[in-house]
Amino acid sequence: MSGSLSLQLSHLPITAVEFITDSVVLVGSGTSLIAYDTQTRCKVGKLFALTHARIHGIASLKHEPSTDAARLVVVFGSKEWSIVRVNMRVGGGLTMELAQRFVARDWIKAAHWVFDPSTACWMVALALAHNRVAICDPASGAVLYSAQCAEHCILYAAAFYGDTLDALVVASGTVFNQVLIWHPDLEAGDSDRCADSAVGSRLQAHDGVVFGVQFSRTGAQVASVSDDRTLRLWDLTAAAPASLTAQPVATLFGHQARVWKCLVLDRFLVSASEDGTCRVWRRGDGGAVDGDAVDRWQQCAKNVWALAANRSESLVVSGAADGSLCVWALDALAGNRGGTTDTLAAAEVPPQEAYLPEGVVPRAAEHIRSFAAGPPSFDSDSGRDLDSGMDALAIMDSGSVLRWQEASDSLPGRWDLAFHEPGLAGYSVACSSLDGGVTAVGMRDGSVLVLAGGANGEVSMVQRVRRIHEASVSQLVISSAPGSSYDLITTDADRRVLWSRLSIAGKISWAVLAEFRLPERTHMASAAVSRAAGWMAIGSQNGGLYVFDLPASLRQPAGCEESAAHVLPVLGLAAHWARAHGKWEVTSVVFDEGAAAGEREAGAAVSPLDMSGGPARCALLTGARDGVMQRFALSAGPASTGPAASPPEHMRVGPLANTGDSLRSGAPFLLFARIERKATERLTSGSICRLLHVRGRLHAVAYRRNRLVIVDMVSRVELCSFVFAETQRRWRICYTGGRSLGVLLMNKLEVLHCRVALRDELLCYRLADGVSSRDVRAADSAFVEDAGGGRLLLVAVGGEDGVLRMLAYRGGEQEPSLRPVAQARRHTSMIRCVRFVPQAGAHGGARAADRCRFLLTAGGGCELRCWRVDVDADMDGEVGVLEWAVAPCFAAEDTEARIMDLVIVDQFVEPRTGGQVVLLATGASDASVQLWRLDLASHRFTCIAQDAQRVHGHCVLSLAAFRMGSGENFGARCFVASGATDGRLVFWDVTEHVAGYRGAVSESQQRGLADIGPPAAILDGVHQSGVNSFDVRVVDGGTRVVVASGGDDNSLAVCELERGGSGGSGAAGGLALCGRIRRRKDAHASPVQQVVFTGRNAVCSVAADQRVARWSIAGDASDECADGSENSEGIAIEDMLVTQVANPSAMAVLPTDSYGGNASLLVVGIGIEIFNM
């Protein structure tokens, strides 16, 4: 038998944080106290501070005699509290030592170090849940003094202020929506009959329970947060006596859910909320607070539990329910981060009389026709901009072009007339490059006006006009290129698309390079050019993606002016995807140059095509109005000379038309372009407006419910959010250097503007990644081949938020790790079950390593989906998750049915197509059990049979599949078993259904929906209520099956069945119970959530009581006790431990691998833990 259960890895919600130096922070996660260094961004220590309770708070002694002395820290949770000694090493690093551990008489809500002048010793003050204070000796844990507030009530929060016993003040946050300020009248000992301490001030304005309170540094103010979603600041110097109700000096709104924590800093107020965000408000002189948040930090989907600031108040650390730990730089706060357009700075254009040239008649309805980020001033010698100011160009309906320059330290913001162009009157479309270096304006007559900054800081601008289209210009796109050149893509009302190159160096050099031919009724919506990779991509208004390869001669930087005899080449399509985003407009196309560079740096083989100057493999990102971001891989290579074969559904292949003859060298050398979809992710329920790379980081601009949002896609931090009830195209973003983006919004006669601080690694970073969010309900694992040819164990998890997450697990001699590598959201409700599909022919749970695996998920709304999970070696080992197939929903629209479990029955290679086919079963909350056929080649689910009689009549909770008998594929008979809330186990013989679909079956030959048939066996009363989980193991050469189950009655049951019963399709398909059911009624103190076999005679279980147990199964079920009672002696407990995963919902066995020996046990719920077995 294997060794005892032991914790290997835990990834739990972070519930407490505390700085002990300006750079070292202590983190509470479960019972563990973890130390991180914010400078090196490394974990520097770990200690199990409490026995069973989750850490809820950390308080450090901030009066050390020297910086190198040991720090004393009190850690508490529930009724436990511990003293931890942190020894700082000279030159960096630390060690942590558990000094003492104690148990209090009540739940602890706050802890604080306080000095006793009479003994010249530091003591620990504890605020208890019944509004009581205990002063304890940190060496013995004895209560030396105690006090009871006159207001006898339950607390949800408390805070202390004062360093000595005489100066100690308590702020109590009560369940009655109040904050009570009182001074403890301490009495010796721990008496229950302490005299009541009077309430000094009663702060009452909240409309909900107070969840958090915090004193300011001086103690003159206190902040409170509540269930009413507000943060309120109180001035204690002007607080009313207890007989009166004080009013807050500031009430701050903004959070969308309950607020848990707050910080009162000298310059800012910070709050953390259930909505997954932290908000920051600026404090002015005298502590006054502006009602508008100056920053909004999006950390996770739900619940930021912990907040702390270092002593210099330059950094804030926040810990969240998904296990993420973020560091935020307060010094980087600049500009507005959220709110409405009323909070933005407005630049109103002057009256027409101030800018119209003489002789031009003013217009009755003058307005801004189009606008763009203005070009900065240029240095004619270097060709670079002189400053990083944020300018704007407004093209008025009258044809005047106005330039607005941002205010500086010496000059206010102002509007100036750049020039007047009559051809712009009544019609113009404008676009600017991200850096603002070039602006292009399209006209009605097909002309394009190009603007660049004037030389040496002058207000004037360099401009040039060319008529390159015959019809009115309808769309323009500008992308930056190496040096001072830009690529300009324009299209007109006749759908003609032109590619131009612009060079800016004191003057504008302009060459029209090529024309692109799009299919009929296709209109360009977005475009991108990658000269390095040799591709151009166009997104259309009807959801299409069109790719062109660029001839090497046109990708060269030389030749920014074409000759008079120049013949414009017409480039045909290399490949296209007609409905890449369905019917939704592709609003943004971006080449991921970093992926291509990573491929080259990784030493990827360079094909002869690449060496000859042909297109290189690269990654392409698209965003659309459906709110989905997709990642594609573009590649080129020789086409097949055999019969044409249809490409897979996730791929599109087309001829390469633009490769020069130099690549063919004699005999025709046919080439193809391939577009392969790698991943899809829904970023928002609204629209994606733009994807852009800034400082090497991908950012997304989204629009939903009149709100414009900018998100850093690396850290998943929301940079800003504005309510903007105008059309999505009336905004612009520019980046002119530094660490901020310029955001411009347009109204009829004004431009609203602000700066948004970028979240680069210096300003915001994660010390720990979040691996889950909300409750995890299901998990499974499988090996894949990584980019280096090794084996990578992927763990798939799904839960309440409907997001499928892929985690990479690495164990071995070094510290195990679990890191997120991919995620996808297509489910509209919770994910209840997750199953990897074994490779065809790999039965019995064998895990074949490969770079591509398929995954099944199901849950709310009876949604059943298949995903393709692969590791792209050419893209630096990136893991992609792609939705592969969606099953039709059979649940009635007026019901809230959900699939509770699924199991894979069989998988094989279909002889006719050579594709893999999976047969699976699902059980739903409407008591139905269904059999499905999934053809991976055709991306199609087909329901082939169901339990028409609804044998259970109750919600089906769990399923299993197994084979019995002799013959191929582990047996001649195939069974599906189900457990439900009626406490019964039902077994079906599905052999005939499986056999009917294992051969070559054409679509016309597929049968209609059949009945699964009568059960092969029914076991009544296995549990008194629901059978939450069960597992099966076939023994004795396939003649018997052992079933272990756990139920809502807290029991663990084991039974055995053998062939030969009269159920099912005659005697051949029947099962009979061997002896009696063995039951361990006291297996757990709460419902058993999951049961799995971990060995020949070993079973592991996890229950809602947060216990993980391992049991040994011995004896023979046919042996009955003399008194006729059920035999429980054959189920013996071997080991049991406590898991810190709250509400454990599922458990899975991670397979044995090269990391070092025995298999591991994965437990998921609110958090994730892995145990050695």
pLDDT at 743: 87
Over pLDDT 90: what percentage of the chain? 49
Cβ atoms of 753 and 345 closer than 8 Å? yes
Q: How far apart are CA 436 and CA 734, in angstroms?
A: 6
Are β-strands 731-734 and 740-746 bridged in parallel, bridged antiparallel, or unpaired? antiparallel
Q: Where are the beta strands (DSSP E) in 1062-1141?
A: 1071-1080, 1088-1095, 1098-1103, 1107-1113, 1131-1138
Please report which confidence band the pLDDT of residue 378 belongs to, taking 50, 70 and 90 as the band edges: very low
What is the reported pTM? 0.79
What is the per-residue pLDDT across 271-325, written as a single tens digit (0 to 9) for each? 999 999 999 998 877 667 877 778 888 888 889 999 999 999 999 999 999 999 9
728: left (phi over 0), alpha (psi -120 to 50) or beta: alpha
Neighbours of 586 (CB within 10 A): 29
331 SS3 class: helix
What is the per-residue pLDDT across 230-270, written as a single tens digit (0 to 9) for each? 999 999 887 666 655 678 999 999 899 999 999 999 999 99
Cβ atoms of 1106 and 1141 closer than 8 Å? yes
Please tell me the least confidently modeled range out of 211-215, 229-233, 885-889. 885-889
pLDDT averaged over the chain?
83
Does position 456 have pLDDT exceeding 70, yes or no? Answer: no
Cβ atoms of 114 and 122 closer than 8 Å? yes
pLDDT at 48: 94
Are β-strands 1017-1019 and 1027-1035 bridged in parallel, bridged antiparallel, or unpaired? unpaired
Q: How far apart are CA 641 and CA 672, in angstroms?
A: 11
pLDDT at 948: 86
What is the per-residue pLDDT across 844-870, written as a single tens digit (0 to 9) for each? 444 444 668 899 999 999 999 999 998
pLDDT at 601: 34
Q: Which residues face 102 on adjacent strands?
A: 81
